[in-house]
A = this chain, B = another copy of it.
Amino acid sequence: MHTRTVNVGVIGAGFMGKAHSLAYAAMPMFFWPAPAIPRRTVIAEVTDELARDAAARFGYERWTSDWRRIIDDPEIDVVDIAVPNDQHPAIAIAAAQAGKHVICEKPLARTAAEARAMRDAAVAAGIVHMVAFNYRRTPAVALAKSLIEDGTIGTVRNFRGTYLQDWSNDPDLPLSWRFQRDVAGSGALGDIATHVLDFARYLVGEVVQVNGLMERYIHDRPIPQGGADQLAGAAKIADAPRGPVDVDDEVLTMLRFAGGAVGSIEATRHAHGRKNFLGFEIHGDRGTLVFDYERRDELQLYSADDAADRQGFRTILTGPAHPYGESLWPIPGLGVGYGETKIIECYELMKAIAEGTPADPSFEDGYRITCIADAIAVSAQAGTWVDVDFGEGSSS
């Protein structure tokens, strides 16, 4: 038997390009035999110099400063989109039309309209399509999913999700694309709240109504002189000319789920001390689950079925007994990092390609999350509950 090799072309060599490249190199080391072996074939960046450097650093055979050459390359099986949000639709649609499988960073697009076009193109092309909500790959989150599915916490009543960061607190942090509506679509809403929405849908089901509130704290930022998006690592440039921030820094929303549960989300990049505090607390009528990505090896489970005098939140430390665990490390507590979430994502993508099955979360999921995000923005303007409009033709 011969394991299939899958040729990958990655577009973008920033934070996400690095994470995805690690995944392509490492996935078969963990998941063995691998469903397919990804080959780091080509990487694109905006200049020849950046692209050449990226190929050397991340181990690609070739490089290009023109992403369309990847689309046109018959050898390429998968196009991996790791560039800012405004470029997602053009690349994804071109790739789909060229018959390439596509994985696209989140959010799928700036708006539901854009995302819908991407989904439609992907579906029409019959390709494997995946949106890169990697945090659901954390073994503890996958364990939460299985504990909900097997009834351990009963019927879900309440989902509270938070994604708290603090890296944008400094008003002298550069005006990266993440602060510009025409590139990013929105701020905390698209950048981080969408990860919580992915948790909400994955774990509880479809979100049908929202009632949100959005705030902006920093109204302008210094204009950078080029250079990549560096998040918390960016150098501050207090004396540069400043340009306007036109996205939200913080979003709160209440939620209603199709199944009757209620919930809330808080997402902000201005919560001092919270670095990557992406988590949830889910109350069911038989138990509770709590997760915080900052302690990502742990899932908290409380079961009302435990004996009365020894009920308490269990801190389950994920390992070989849990989802993906046999492929990761041989003892719980050796610990997974951000890289492993991408390695597992890569495994799921390669499995879908090898087996010819749909990927999960797909562009349909990515599209629906933009629908919910759009509804949150509308409700924040209106100050009232808004039904989420998933459009005609969506399967719910």
Contacts and interface: CB of A to CB of B under 8 A. Distances in A.
A337 interface: yes
Using C-beta atoms within 8 Å of the partner chain, give the interface range for chain A. Answer: 35 or more
Contact of A338 (B299, B334, B383): B334
Contacts of A333: 165, 274-277, 293-294
Interface string A283-310: 1111110000111111111111010111
A316 interface: yes
A297 B295 CA distance: 8
Contact of A15 (B153, B215, B277, B330): B330
B264 A287 contact: no
Contacts of A297: 294
A288 B275 contact: no
Nearest to A340: B337
Given A57-B29, A294-B297, A330 B232 contact: yes
Interface string A201-214: 00000000001010
A275 B332 contact: yes
6 contacts: A18-B29, A28-B57, A34-B57, A158-B250, A169-B285, A312-B317
Q: Which 7 A-B pairs have the closest CB atoms?
A: A273-B302, A276-B333, A275-B333, A337-B337, A312-B314, A312-B316, A275-B332
